[in-house]
């Protein structure tokens, strides 16, 4: 049984296909996730699943129009705020920065494409990614941007507590993307949550400014697969707007393909 003639996953191409199918103007999409606790109802790889599947959905919808290609996922990032929980894996800041820069060097050596879109599934690396963009552009001449999908489509508005981590929005996404990995019988609302933007997430310590008995920050009991599908559809459309803006900034001469043009 044959495969599709032009899979848009870099890992599924053969090496002769790289130079035949990718161009300098092609856009590489790099999902980045994390392995960390998401409450008792979601798996450790929630951020990996979200980043990977949203990237796949983006490419399925817009791959031909924007010439998008999916890179292998970076699955472990910076998760020290969750290191109280068994199973949470985290690199050091130095290692993560070096890993991303080495990835940039490898992409520049191995592939003709010079556009990189990072699809970030983990809020804990927002700051470092924004700073590393300057190095990817300045040191490696990669046209790079980062997209935070949860900024693009709001979580369900009925939540009564901050929907920050493992709450209604993230759980709804997982019910739509990987329902077999979700155990809703263990989902627990966090009416006791005391969330602040700064500070560690330590549900084991009620004196912490970020206290949640369940380890999630929000109300996952409000999650449904239908809400997740709505979020995914909105994210994919908004992701395309972000890619359009990225191309406009990277190609001010108007070299970019216009949305809606024939492929």
Of 26-30, 74-78, 132-136, 249-253, the least confident:
249-253
Average pLDDT of the residues in 8-24: 94
Residue 241 tokens, joined = 């707007």
Question: CA-to-CA distance for 155 and 160, rounded, in angstroms?
Answer: 12
Strand partners, 194: 211
Residue 15 tokens, joined = 């090496």
Q: Which residues contact 217 (CB under 8 A, 6 or more apart)?
A: 161, 162, 163, 164, 165, 166, 167, 190, 193, 195, 201, 210
Domains identified in the chain and CATH numbers:
10-249 (3.40.50.10310)
Grade residue 84 by pLDDT with cuts at 50, 70 and 90.
Answer: confident
Of 29-43, 115-129, 201-215, the least confident:
201-215
Grade residue 255 by pLDDT with cuts at 50, 70 and 90.
Answer: very low
Grade residue 156 by pLDDT with cuts at 50, 70 and 90.
Answer: very low
DSSP assignment of 110-158: H-S--EEEEEE--GGGHHHHHHHHHHHHHHH--EEEEE-GGGTSPPPTT
Question: CA-to-CA distance for 76 and 9, rounded, in angstroms?
Answer: 20
| pTM (predicted TM-score) | 0.86
Query: What is the structure's pLDDT at 193?
Result: 59
Q: What is the mean pLDDT of the chain?
A: 84
């Amino acid at each position: 049984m044959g495969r599709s003639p032009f899979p848009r996953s870099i890992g599924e191409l053969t090496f002769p296909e790289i130079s035949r199918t990718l161009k300098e103007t092609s856009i590489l999409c790099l999902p980045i996730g994390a392995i960390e606790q998401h409450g008792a109802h979601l798996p450790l790889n929630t951020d990996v699943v979200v980043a990977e599947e949203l990237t796949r959905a983006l490419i399925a919808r817009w791959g031909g129009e924007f010439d998008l290609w999916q890179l292998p996922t970076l699955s472990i990032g910076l998760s020290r705020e969750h290191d109280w929980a068994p199973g949470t894996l985290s690199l050091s800041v130095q290692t993560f920065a070096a890993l991303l820069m080495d990835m940039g060097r490898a992409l520049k050596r191995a592939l003709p494409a010079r556009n990189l879109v990072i699809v970030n599934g983990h809020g804990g690396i927002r700051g470092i990614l924004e700073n590393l963009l300057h190095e990817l552009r300045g040191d490696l001449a990669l046209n790079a941007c980062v997209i935070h999908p949860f900024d693009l489509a709001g979580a369900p508005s009925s939540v009564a507590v901050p929907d920050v981590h493992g709450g209604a929005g993230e759980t709804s996404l997982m019910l739509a993307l990987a329902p077999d990995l979700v155990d809703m019988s263990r989902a627990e609302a966090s009416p006791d949550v005391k969330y602040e933007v700064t500070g560690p997430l330590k549900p084991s310590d009620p004196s912490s400014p970020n206290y949640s008995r369940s380890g999630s920050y929000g109300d996952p009991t409000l999650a449904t697969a239908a809400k997740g599908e709505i979020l995914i559809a909105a994210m994919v459309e908004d992701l395309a707007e972000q890619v359009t803006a990225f191309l406009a900034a990277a190609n001010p001469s108007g070299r970019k393909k216009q949305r809606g043009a024939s492929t």
